[in-house]
Structure 1
């Protein structure tokens, strides 16, 4: 009887470990958490990634401008952290 309990306990530990290592389980928990936060706080859903694809040209322009500004600041000897 004790051996059956120990075997069941080992099986439970193995199954739990396998479940916690599964990326699909973590994605599911993340989605549930997101929905609960949306319902609790009234936060609108996050935009889908397809809407962000249309802004890539503008984002690239901003990055290039920022990169040029950083290079100029480094050549002048200004500190890199602008926070």
Structure 2
């Protein structure tokens, strides 16, 4: 009976450690503890906003299609932009 509890406990611990939510919570707690110990605010690049590599604000499908057509026309003409 005891070994069943140990197996269940190991499974639960493994699921917890694989959870991104758990890691975010631990990171936040660690940051607050370190700030309290040092007495200063720690630098966190994720709070700065970063770059918008995946979805830039000026991106649209129409602009993409227009630029794609222009590139194809330039390639057929033999003129390349570098």
* TM-score when normalising by structure 2: 0.52
Which runs of no fewer than 5 residues in structure 1 stay unpaired? 54-83
Task: Specify the alignment match of 1:16 in structure 2.
Answer: 13
Task: Specify the alignment match of 1:43 in structure 2.
Answer: 40
Higher helix share: 1
Deviation at residue 49 of structure 1 after TM alignment? 2.3
Aligned residues: 49
Deviation at residue 45 of structure 1 after TM alignment? 4.7
Task: Specify the alignment match of 1:72 in structure 2.
Answer: none
Which runs of no fewer than 5 residues in structure 2 stay unpaired? 52-82
1:11-67 CA-to-partner distances (Å, cap 9, x unmatched) read 0000000000001100000000000000000122546325x67xxxxxxxxxxxxxx
- Counterpart Cα distance in 2 of 1:41 and 1:14: 37
- Tell me how large the CA RMSD over aligned residues is: 1.9
Runs of 4+ aligned residues of structure 1 deviating over 4 Å after TM superposition are: none
